Amino acid sequence: MPRMRLISEAFNELKEKDKNSALTLYGLTTLVKSGSVGGVVKIGRKTLVNMEVLEQYLQGEIPAQQPQIISYNGIRRISGV
């Protein structure tokens, strides 16, 4: 079973392993929410991170994923207004 953690819990686990890490909570949050790190599951307002995948990403074993960009080709009309 994968070790799934909230972003703040994942950050605290990483800090316990490496107290001198330059990674900040904001930096980890940005990486996770941008889609660069795989193994992320959103459940409601909570974002869970797979710790094994995150550790492999930080060690350089897994390349960054390209976030999906959705293009709507200009301004869209809002219906029902």
Blockwise average pLDDT, block size 10, the chain, 81 residues: 94 95 94 88 92 92 67 69 59
Q: What is the pLDDT of residue 70?
A: 54
Predicted local confidence at residue 69, as pLDDT: 54
In angstroms, the first-to-last Cα distance of the chain is: 47
Domain count, the chain: 1
The pLDDT assigned to 79 comes to: 75
Closest by CA position to 7, among listed 58, 57, 42, 56: 42
Domain span including residue 3 = 1-81
